């Protein structure tokens, strides 16, 4: 007759091996405690921000009454910049993270390793309020906050760069146009002077066009000066600050998870062994019958 392995057998198995469970649990507790105490401590600092609407901070749209709040696409752009290779290289070089992370610069994979470590310490996400959170972990709380704020400032510079470049191109084009029209007027006046012509309508028209060009040039210069000035493309709700509470390691979680996992593995091995023993007993019982 076949004998099944029941829940009662499982309970009996646990009670029978309670000393083993206590021994395994205690050993893993001590080991995980020692390991967690040896792990380096990291502190996390976070900056919370919203992107401004590009049309709102463009001086050319000052009379349009654009909403200052950016769209989801603006948020995606800021997050992409925050995770870009340009930001990685800027922070890694400025704060000498290769040495800070104790990476051998002679290794072929040194650049890959420092970027991998940097990315592992960086968190860029969107919270439940659609705000962007940029967090960084470091073994020094002050350094973590400094790096995040510096990163945000650099993101702001990169984000305003296209607007600055466009304004510079517009300014240079008006400068070139002004010079061309000035030269054209000068040439026309010389031709008329040689022909002893008293009609100056053409130079007058060209002078009017030059005046308009100069007006446009002055507007472009003013726009360029405003853009080159101190304006922000990011609405910083909460700048990064040093947080004294450690973010990693979570020693209690490590210890609990290690003990639970060890006890589960011990239980699993005992169950497999007991099922195998029952299977052998059933086979022997069937063979005798």
Residues 123 and 171 in one domain: yes
Task: Pick left, alpha or beta for residue 65 (phi over 0 → left; psi -120 to 50 → alpha; otherwise beta).
Answer: left
**Domain contains 287:** no
| Residue burial 194-223, b: 16+ Cβ < 10 Å; e: rest | eeeeeeeeebeebbeebeebeebbeebeeb
Residue 125 phi, psi dihedral angles, 5° rounding: -150, 170
What's the CATH code of the domain at 187? Answer: 3.30.1890
Residues 27 and 94 in one domain: no
Cβ contacts of 247 within 8 Å, gap of 6 or more:
42, 43, 44, 137
**Domain contains 284:** no
CA angle, corner 16, sides to 11 and 22, nearest 5? 100
Percentages of the chain per state (helix, strand, coil), in multiples of 5: 65, 10, 20
Asked whether the beta carbons of 75 and 128 are under 8 A apart, the reply is: no
pLDDT for 124? 95
pLDDT band (50, 70, 90) for residue 142: very high
Secondary structure E strands in 62-191? 122-126, 132-138
Cβ contacts of 242 within 8 Å, gap of 6 or more:
43, 45, 141, 142, 144, 145
Mean pLDDT confidence for 127-156: 93
User: For residues 141 and 70, what is the distance between their CA atoms, to the nearest angstrom?
Assistant: 31
Asked whether the beta carbons of 117 and 133 are under 8 A apart, the reply is: no
Residues 164 and 266 in one domain: no
Domain that holds residue 103: 40-248
Residues 10 and 81 in one domain: no
Asked whether the beta carbons of 283 and 53 are under 8 A apart, the reply is: no
pLDDT for 85? 93
**Domain contains 285:** no
Residues 109 and 239 in one domain: yes
- Of residues 286 and 99, the one with the higher pLDDT is 99
**Into how many domains does the chain fold?**
2
The whole-chain average pLDDT of the chain stands at 78
CA distances from 20 to 8, 14, 263, 269, 270 (A): 19, 9, 9, 12, 10
User: For residues 25 and 44, what is the distance between their CA atoms, to the nearest angstrom?
Assistant: 32
**Domain contains 286:** no
- Of residues 133 and 53, the one with the higher pLDDT is 133
Query: Measuring CA to CA, which residue among 65, 36, 71 is closest to residue 53?
Result: 71
- Of residues 9 and 146, the one with the higher pLDDT is 146
Whether the link from the prior residue into 249 is cis, omega within 30° of 0, is: yes
Task: Pick left, alpha or beta for residue 196 (phi over 0 → left; psi -120 to 50 → alpha; otherwise beta).
Answer: left
**Domain contains 288:** no
Residues 87 and 11 in one domain: no
Residues 102 and 137 in one domain: yes
Residues 156 and 81 in one domain: yes
Q: Is the full-model pTM beyond 0.95?
A: no
User: For residues 156 and 235, what is the distance between their CA atoms, to the nearest angstrom?
Assistant: 10
User: For residues 175 and 216, what is the distance between their CA atoms, to the nearest angstrom?
Assistant: 9
Residues 51 and 151 in one domain: yes
CA distances from 156 to 54, 87, 150, 278 (A): 12, 11, 10, 69
Query: Measuring CA to CA, which residue among 232, 238, 237 is closest to residue 52?
Result: 232
- Of residues 119 and 275, the one with the higher pLDDT is 119
Tens digit of each residue's pLDDT (9 = 90 or more) over 169-217: 655 565 555 555 555 555 554 544 555 544 444 555 555 655 666 666 5
Query: Measuring CA to CA, which residue among 73, 108, 114 is closest to residue 90?
Result: 114
Residues 133 and 259 in one domain: no
Residues 96 and 17 in one domain: no
**Domain contains 182:** yes
**Domain contains 85:** yes
Residues 214 and 91 in one domain: yes
**Domain contains 127:** yes
């Amino acid at each position: 007759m076949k004998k099944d392995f029941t829940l009662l057998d499982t309970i009996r198995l646990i009670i029978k091996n309670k000393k083993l469970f206590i021994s395994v649990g205690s050993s893993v507790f001590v080991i995980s405690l020692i390991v967690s105490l040896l792990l380096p401590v990291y502190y996390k600092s976070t900056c919370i921000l919203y992107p401004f609407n590009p049309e709102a901070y463009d001086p050319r749209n000052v009379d349009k009454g654009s909403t200052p709040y950016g769209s989801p696409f603006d948020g995606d752009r800021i997050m992409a910049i925050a995770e870009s290779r340009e930001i990685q290289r800027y922070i890694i070089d400025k704060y000498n993270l290769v040495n800070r992370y104790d990476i051998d610069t002679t290794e072929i994979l040194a650049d890959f390793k420092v970027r991998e470590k940097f990315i592992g310490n960086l968190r860029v996400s969107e919270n439940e309020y659609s705000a962007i959170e940029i967090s960084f972990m470091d073994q020094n709380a002050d350094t973590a906050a400094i790096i995040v704020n510096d990163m945000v400032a650099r993101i702001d510079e990169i984000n305003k760069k296209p607007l600055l470049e466009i304004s510079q191109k517009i300014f240079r084009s008006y400068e070139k146009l002004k010079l061309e029209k000035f030269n054209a007027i000068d040439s026309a006046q010389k031709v008329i002077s040689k022909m002893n012509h008293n009609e100056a309508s053409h130079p007058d028209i060209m002078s009017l066009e030059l005046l308009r060009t100069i007006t446009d040039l002055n507007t472009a210069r003013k726009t360029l000066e405003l853009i080159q000035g101190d304006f922000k493309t990011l609405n910083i709700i909460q700048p990064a600050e040093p947080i004294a509470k450690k973010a990693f390691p979570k020693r209690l979680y490590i210890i609990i998870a290690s003990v639970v996992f060890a006890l589960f593995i011990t239980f699993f091995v005992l169950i497999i062994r007991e099922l195998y023993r029952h299977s052998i007993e059933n086979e022997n019982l069937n063979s005798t019958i």
